[in-house]
Amino acid sequence: MASFKAVLFDLDGTLVDTAPDLAFALNTLLEEHGLMPLPLADIRPIASNGCAGLLHLGFNLSQHDADYLPLQQRLIQLYQDNIARESTLFPRMQMVLSTLHSRDIPWGIVTNKPTFLTTPLTQLLQLDQAAACIVSGDTTPHSKPHPAPLLHACDLIQLAPKDCLYIGDALRDIQAGKAADMITLAASYGYISADDDISHWQADGIIDSPEAILTWL
């Protein structure tokens, strides 16, 4: 195993379990339109796919449909108003972060979530002060799977990509990490759909729980 000087996390589905609040926003929107709410088990696997994934699941809409934009705006507002209603760190993740702190290993967040949602969520969960860096989906001109956000995180923490471990629960996370020349871990405990085959993502490792991260350190 390599010796890592920093650990970088994707946010939704890797560091924080945000699916309950995303589900609440989608189900509230469905009910506003006279539709039945969906079980969390149906929403959870696509929770990392943002508005596009949620509105396709709930309303069978694509981004090209005329109704998409107003529903997207309402969904974002509902989510923003309830952004930390039930969202929490994944089980045992606090222990992982505490262990990193005790070993003087900085950790940061690199997410495709836009800043106006990332900032309140990380503040309410008291992650903003502990994180060595927080890079959102609109921090750089490109979002994942482009490596730019991860390379920007390296600039912020003043470390080379090869010294960083990146962990995510989506193919775009692994693609971005590999393009940035980082070691990557795929989080199988995250928001994985039935169509995803993690074994084909070519991550350097697959972990089924947050504490498994520690074996890589």
Q: What are phi and psi of 85, to 5 degrees?
A: -65, -45
Please list the active-site residues: 10
Dihedral of CA 45/17/117/183: which sign?
A: negative
Structure tokens at 132: 């060595």
R_g (Cα) of the chain, nearest Å? 17
3-state SS record for the chain: CCCCCEEEECCECCCEECHHHHHHHHHHHHHHCCCCCCCHHHHHHHHHHHHHHHHHHHHCCCCCCCCHHHHHHHHHHHHHHCCCCCCEECCCHHHHHHHHHHCCCCEEEECCCCHHHHHHHHHHCCCCCCCCEEECCCCCCCCCCCCHHHHHHHHHHCCCHHHEEEEECCHHHHHHHHHCCCEEEEECCCCCCCCCCHHHCCCCEEECCHHHHHHHC
